[in-house]
Amino acid sequence: MIKFDTALDYNIPMEEYAKEDNKINGPQELTYNYITMAINGKYAQGLSGQKKRVWGRIQRKFDIMVDGNGKDTIVELEESEIDFIKSAFNDDSVKFPVSIAKYVMVAEDAIMELGKVVEDKK
């Protein structure tokens, strides 16, 4: 298991996201949203088989973390789950709105670093 601290520094005033009509529990929920956008972009036609199972496990882990009202920011991911997420961010066909590209890059950079320590020790 690799621990991923999802409370990334997006350099956004979080009070903007705490408004009633746009409630975000913190940067960890933004991280989850950006990951979900990447997965949706790569698998626009949907998931089946093993990929569906992997994404379902990831969703449950993030849901538990996000439902904690911002108190917990760590998600433990298996290597296969990290690879699944990385594959979506590495796919050139996945598009993000121009207005959030700088924030998505914060998440992408952190995700691409996941597992590197493990890989370097092999």
Tell me the C-alpha distance between 83 and 120, whole Å: 16
Instruction: Supply the pLDDT for residue 72.
Output: 76
More confident residue, 6 or 94: 94
pLDDT value of position 3: 86
Comparing 100 with 10, which gets the higher pLDDT? 100
Domain count for the chain: 1
Asked whether the predicted pLDDT for residue 26 surpasses 80, the reply is no
For residue 72, being part of any structural domain is answered with yes
More confident of the two residues 78 and 13: 78
**CA atoms in the 13 A half-sphere facing the CB of 27:** 17
Average pLDDT, the chain: 84
Q: Identify the domain containing residue 70 by its residue range.
A: 25-121
Phi and psi at residue 3, to the nearest 5°: -85, 130
- Does any domain span residue 13? no
Overall average pLDDT of the 20-44 stretch: 84
Q: Are 45 and 93 in contact (CB under 8 A)?
A: no
Question: Cα 122 to chain center, whole Å?
Answer: 25
* Residue that the structure tokens 């929920």 belong to: 29
Is a pLDDT exceeding 50 seen at residue 54? yes
In a domain, 18, yes or no: no
Q: Is residue 5 part of a domain?
A: no
Give pTM, 2 decimals. Answer: 0.83
Residue 112 lies in a domain: yes
pLDDT for residue 120 is more than 70:
no
Of residues 35 and 64, more confidence is placed in: 35
Structure tokens at 50: 């093993």
- pLDDT over 90 at 118, yes or no: no
Which band of pLDDT confidence, cut at 50, 70 and 90, is reported for residue 94? Answer: very high
